[in-house]
Homo-oligomer: A and B are copies of this chain.
Amino acid sequence: MATNRERLATWHRAVFERDRGALLGLLAEDAVFHAPAYFKPRQGRDTVAFILENAIQVFENFTYHRELIDGDDWALEFSANIGEVRLKGIDLIRWNAAGQIVDFEVYVRPAKGLQALAEAMAARVAEKLTSA
């Protein structure tokens, strides 16, 4: 099974090279996503992949900073901006025993950054759905 170092390298490839195969390979079939702006979780590999792929594309200057790894629980600190609005965030990730992501929770601060992200995501997803 992949070590944490290998998983992190694969995750970085999914994010920074927008490698869809890498992303899908990391997600468990029943993976759950928790958005920063609303409470209701979303479930399923394709749904979570769709959300993450769109998030990756709305963030500009996305950079990871501290990457905390404590066994199967990870907290990846990031910064980014949406237009002029700067924000910071955390990807709180839980892995299962098979080495797949089962839970992915995103936190964003400050409030202005969270609002900008939620608006950009809503606009992007609406555009995707209407052009599909």
Spell out A's residues near B (CB within 8 Å). Answer: 34-39, 66, 68-70, 73-75, 77, 86, 88-90, 92, 94, 105-115, 118
A68-B70, A75-B90, A111-B118 given; 4 more Cβ-contact pairs under 8 Å: A38-B111, A68-B73, A70-B70, A109-B114
The number of times this chain is found in the oligomer is 2
8 contacts between A and B (CB under 8 A): A37-B111, A38-B112, A39-B86, A39-B113, A66-B94, A68-B70, A70-B70, A107-B107
Taking A90-B75, A90-B90 as contacts, is the C-beta distance between A110 and B38 under 8 angstroms? yes
Tell which of B38, B73, B108 touches A107, judged by Cβ atoms closer than 8 Å: B108
Tell which of B34, B74, B77, B114 touches A114, judged by Cβ atoms closer than 8 Å: B114
Taking A39-B86, A70-B68, A86-B39 as contacts, is the C-beta distance between A92 and B110 under 8 angstroms? no
A113 to B112, CA, bound (A): 14
User: Within the complex, what minimum Cβ distance (angstroms) separates A109 from chain B?
Assistant: 5
| A34 and B109 contacting across the interface, CB-CB below 8 Å | yes
Q: Which residue of B lies closest to A85 (CB)?
A: B39
